[in-house]
Structure 1
Amino acid sequence: MLHVDDASGGRDLLGRLAEHVPSAEDWTNEMESWVGVAISHEGLKALGLPEESLSSFPLPFRQGMAARAEMLRDFGENAPETWEEPFKPGTLHIALTIFAADEAARDKAVGKAMAELERSSGVTLVATHEFGADEDAENPFGFRDAIAQPNIAGSGVDPLPGDGPAIAAGEFILGENSETGQPLGVPQPPELGRNGTYVVLRKYNSRVGAFNDFLREHAESEEAQHLLAAKMVGRWRSGAPLILSPDHDDEDLGADPERNNDFTFRDDPKGLLCPYSSHIRRLNPRDSSMTILTDVNIKRIIRRPSTFGPKWTSDVTAADDGKDARGLFFIFISARAYDTIEFLQQEWINRGNFIDLGEELDPIVGLHEEPGTFTIPDEPARRRVNGVTTFNRLRGGEYMFMPSISALKWIAKGEWVGS
């Protein structure tokens, strides 16, 4: 996380970083590491971009995440006033993300990045943070993560069962045709905007102990606790979906990418297998019947699992929360990123109107300013579990723009300066 103090120094660093960003042309080939560069609107200002370019970006991006707290429902303990210092408005200008196949490759790539930074002037290192995923890709609560990703038209990759219909590339990359048949608006000039995308970055601290205590309070046996947790998420910890294995966990199913996402909600209209209010059914309703109709295709996002802290264990209690930093970085890209995250936060996460549950919130990532309720449909009567609290607390975030490699080089040249 970098802050630009001098425009020319910042542009010089971007030009050198661009040489380390791999092209998407060979993205299906295995790489030992890969680098992404994203820039906030305040960062583009600090780099000296002309006003006609700055004003061509969407309003939410120009305002920044903190200023959009009302739209994001980032209130109370999630309000920008409580965020960590690196995320305070105007601080984060450039985010450099490095992913690698293993620790050795990561350390090598980080070494190169730090060497470029040491050669720079006019750029301040604000913060660094390690995150990642092991072979199980578990989130802080012990659930296999990032199973469902959108099927992108023209990617050249065969979709996995359950990925859903192919979604136009323009929903993810600026300049390509979107689901409307036309490209979405592209920042100007085209050298800057085309082939770029938008990034949402949000950091959460996970209250693993509070979650464990909640399960113990509302389910006596360990087996019942696992079931309640699965009902809240929509999957067992292995990744096996409730729709396919409603009564018990199935590790083989959960680990099989050919099967673990191959389902719809068509045969569960009452939510008896997977509750309407479960996390995965809210964030990807698929073919669920919704009171407030929405085009699910334009709400899909490309995301990457990015957790930090010790792995989940059942013995952690609320008294342990805060002793070891546990959490996740929610990072996703979409050409409609800001409309999407604000819709998700307002409707699918922090309300229940779209599934006829009034003000019931997402039990995993919802902001519960007062203890809330989780509804489990059943026959003859549904069950309501009370006392749901905020299990993931927002510690900061920002709206970012991820330029293409050619756009990074265009910014680095700064040919508009003095014109």
Structure 2
Amino acid sequence: MKITSTFASLLVCALGLATAVHGQQKKTTSILINPPGLPKLPTAEAAKEAAAAAGLNLTNIQGDIVVGMSKLFETFVFFSIADATTFKSKLRSDILPLITNAEQMLANETQPDTLVNIAFSQTGLTALGITDNLNDTAFQSGQLANAQTLGDPGTTNWVPQFTTGTIHGVFLLASDTQTSVNASLANVAAALGTSFTQVYTLVALARPGNQVGHEHFGYLDGISNPAIQGFDDNPLPGQASVATGEILLGEVNDTMTRPAWAKDGSFFVFRQLEQLVPEFDKYLTDNPIVESGLTVQEGADLLGARMIGRWPSGAPVFLSPLADDPALGANSSANNDFTYTAPNNATLCPFSAHIRKNRPRADLGAESKNTHHILRGSIPYGPEVTAAEAASNKTTIERGMAFTAYQSNIVTGFQFLQQTWMNNPNFFVKNNTGFDPVVGANHGAARWTEGNLDPINPTRNFTLVNDFVISRGGEYFFSPPLSAIATTLST
């Protein structure tokens, strides 16, 4: 899309206002966290050089798309548009200056106090009068219509607001303090006034202490996020390097027809996933892998690691099959450097393991044959497990993961991973592998997974009567480029 001089002027003005609003001058600390073991953002210089070579405009891309799993505090504010005319006017004059772009996130000095991004559902675009077809059937129908496809047991467990069809969009606000997030939300709410209604809010935050970067089951999360060509051209060993068009619309390898204004936008998947941590821990201790020299707890830890495919530190079982290796887990240049090819069976890592189901690596042959990548930016929500919950092996306080993912095609991205790989007991690499034992879903019915979860007893069967992850619902959104916010969506 050719950027007009009018939009260029608006964008310069917006960035200048954002500096004043967020107090970006000479910021010395990052609003992001960088847990050991996770891929880090490229330097500003490297990203700008890669973007220039690829013809990618980082100032036109919303910042959350490239941030990944690095947020400390994040609030998701789902809203409905009450007065479309006023909302569009305020979107251009008041909200655009607050929107954080990808380039701003690359250095502390250019980061705002709070990352502010916005995305719209299909019903939200319709409310704004947008009739263009973005050419993604999952987005068009919405997540509610896809509940069965995703393995959810209907919508019984869904947050009610996700079932009404009244969610038109979502604001994402992230920072290193909840105070900053709340202040930015107040600015947004004041700017939009009665033109919008806050429908539902979810407050999320990274876990404390040495659990920063870990999800509630205790495992370091986000190690396998890919590097996006044209943004990060220096992938880590074992890290997938994917074409820009797998994440951004209208870029290289996006094979669908899109309206010109949607270029550099991305489809944003949100899922609220409750995690039953005491129940998960109880299952492991009740079903440990039994081997001479292993205590019951060590056997339980080994089963959990084989279900995930990684130890809590992030060390992959393929490289460290019998015990955790924290040094390996913390080494982002080594903890992703494997292919499943030696041996090509489940001795070191079960075919049903969560990370193998989501990224089969050499099981597909070459990495280039995998066109089903997503860029995740998930964050935990809810408190730590209480002593009473741990003692009773029963969840009484909700906690879980605000699962988020970006892709240029939900059908071949998130939906494919959930339906065709995680929920498919006949995983294409090997029949009868069973469901993903952690995140797989079978409409609330029992799930089974392959016997070689137990490397000592390959014929041992595992039947998971209850889910450890409960879908609380969600929605599909489109995260538009800043150029569209300034023009198509606000006029």
Partner of 1:195: 264
Query: Matches of 1:224 and 1:243 in 2, distance apart?
Result: 17
Partner of 1:387: 464
Partner of 1:175: 250
Return the TM-score normalized by structure 2.
0.75
Partner of 1:23: 101
- Cα distance, 1:328 vs. partner? 0.8
- Cα distance, 1:320 vs. partner? 5.8
Partner of 2:129: 48
Percent identity at matched positions?
Answer: 30
Matched, 1:408 2:477: no
Answer whether contact 1:66 1:89 (CA < 8 A) is retained: no
Query: Matches of 1:380 and 1:365 in 2, distance apart?
Result: 24
Partner of 2:340: 265
Query: 1:123-177, CA deviations, whole angstroms, 9 ceiling, x for partnerless residues?
Result: 111111111324631111011101111122221452122103x321111111111
- Cα distance, 1:224 vs. partner? 1.1
3-state DSSP class of the match of 2:200? coil
Query: 1:249-292, CA deviations, whole angstroms, 9 ceiling, x for partnerless residues?
Result: 111221221222122211131111111111001001111258xx
Distance 1:156 1:365, change over 3 A: closer
Query: Matches of 2:255 and 2:317 in 1, distance apart?
Result: 36
Query: 1:80-136, CA deviations, whole angstroms, 9 ceiling, x for partnerless residues?
Result: 35421221141211111112234444344334333334xx22311111111132463
Answer whether contact 1:133 1:307 (CA < 8 A) is retained: yes
Partner of 1:287: 362
Map 1:13-412 to 2 at 5 A. Answer: 13-15=90-92, 16-30=94-108, 31=111, 32-49=113-130, 51=131, 53=132, 55-74=133-152, 76=153, 79-117=154-192, 120-134=193-207, 136-164=212-240, 166-178=241-253, 183-188=254-259, 190-191=260-261, 193-219=262-288, 221-288=296-363, 297-311=370-384, 316-317=389-390, 321-353=394-426, 354-358=428-432, 360-368=434-442, 369-377=444-452, 378=455, 381-412=458-489
Query: Matches of 1:258 and 1:177 in 2, distance apart?
Result: 27
- Cα distance, 1:296 vs. partner? 5.0
Query: What code does the residue aligned with 1:25 have?
Result: E
Query: What code does the residue aligned with 1:236 have?
Result: W
Query: Matches of 2:368 and 2:387 in 1, distance apart?
Result: 38
- Cα distance, 1:389 vs. partner? 2.5
- Cα distance, 1:309 vs. partner? 1.7
Query: Matches of 1:315 and 1:138 in 2, distance apart?
Result: 22
Aligned CA RMSD, in angstroms, stands at 2.5
- Cα distance, 1:66 vs. partner? 1.1
Answer whether contact 2:433 2:449 (CA < 8 A) is retained: no
Answer whether contact 1:22 1:35 (CA < 8 A) is retained: yes
Query: What code does the residue aligned with 1:80 have?
Result: T
Query: What code does the residue aligned with 1:176 have?
Result: E
Query: What code does the residue aligned with 2:300 have?
Result: Q
Partner of 1:3: 80
Query: Matches of 1:275 and 1:255 in 2, distance apart?
Result: 23
Query: Matches of 1:13 and 1:225 in 2, distance apart?
Result: 54
Query: 1:356-390, CA deviations, whole angstroms, 9 ceiling, x for partnerless residues?
Result: 34372110111143333332434674332233521
Query: Matches of 1:232 and 1:316 in 2, distance apart?
Result: 23
Query: What code does the residue aligned with 1:198 have?
Result: F
Query: Matches of 2:470 and 2:430 in 1, distance apart?
Result: 26
Query: Matches of 1:271 and 1:374 in 2, distance apart?
Result: 12
Query: Matches of 1:65 and 1:109 in 2, distance apart?
Result: 28
Distance 1:391 1:126, change over 3 A: same
Query: 1:297-340, CA deviations, whole angstroms, 9 ceiling, x for partnerless residues?
Result: 31111111311123358984595644211111110000012332
Answer whether contact 1:6 1:47 (CA < 8 A) is retained: no
Distance 1:376 1:260, change over 3 A: farther
3-state DSSP class of the match of 2:203? coil
Query: What code does the residue aligned with 2:123 have?
Result: E
Query: What code does the residue aligned with 1:138 have?
Result: H
Answer whether contact 2:81 2:196 (CA < 8 A) is retained: yes
Return the TM-score normalized by structure 1.
0.87
3-state DSSP class of the match of 1:9? helix
Query: Matches of 1:351 and 1:154 in 2, distance apart?
Result: 33
Query: Matches of 1:153 and 1:56 in 2, distance apart?
Result: 23
Query: Matches of 2:333 and 2:386 in 1, distance apart?
Result: 28
Structure 1 stretches lacking a partner, 5+ long: 415-419
